[in-house]
Amino acid sequence: MNYRNGEIIMQIHELVIEMKLLERRLTLYEEKYGILSEDFYKALVSGKLERYDAYDETRADFSRWKGIYETWLRRKETYTQQIQQQGLVATLRIQPVY
């Protein structure tokens, strides 16, 4: 990780690893509720899932799911920006670091 103006800047390979971890967590909710995260998020922010607010479990799940998905979206946006700035070929790692 690097720092710019006191802000943590993740390297592309760090973003990929974190996005994959987030995707694993999203998959648990997708399998539980039977829809993809993108569709869930669109329905949630448009108010189509309000009737589920009455149920504690779904309210808690939906809150966590939304937070994980929003974090994934931010990481994806950062990844896309960095790939565009640095170029794919310059970014490509031949040997992964684990």
> Which residue segment(s) compose the domain that 74 sits in?
2-90
> Rounded to two decimals, what is the model's pTM?
0.83
Kindly state whether residue 96 falls inside one of the protein's structural domains: no
Mean pLDDT of 61-85: 95
Kindly state whether residue 97 falls inside one of the protein's structural domains: no
pLDDT of residue 89: 79
Mean pLDDT of 45-53: 92
Cα of 88 vs its chain's centroid, Å: 21
Mean pLDDT of 29-56: 95
Closest CA to 78 of 8, 5, 30: 8
Give the ranges where 1-98 is alpha helix by DSSP (H): 12-33, 37-45, 56-86, 88-91
Domain count, the chain: 1
Kindly state whether residue 95 falls inside one of the protein's structural domains: no
Kindly state whether residue 56 falls inside one of the protein's structural domains: yes
The residues with which 7 forms a beta bridge, in sequence order, are 4
Kindly state whether residue 28 falls inside one of the protein's structural domains: yes
Kindly state whether residue 38 falls inside one of the protein's structural domains: yes
Q: Which residue has the higher pLDDT, 18 or 89?
A: 18
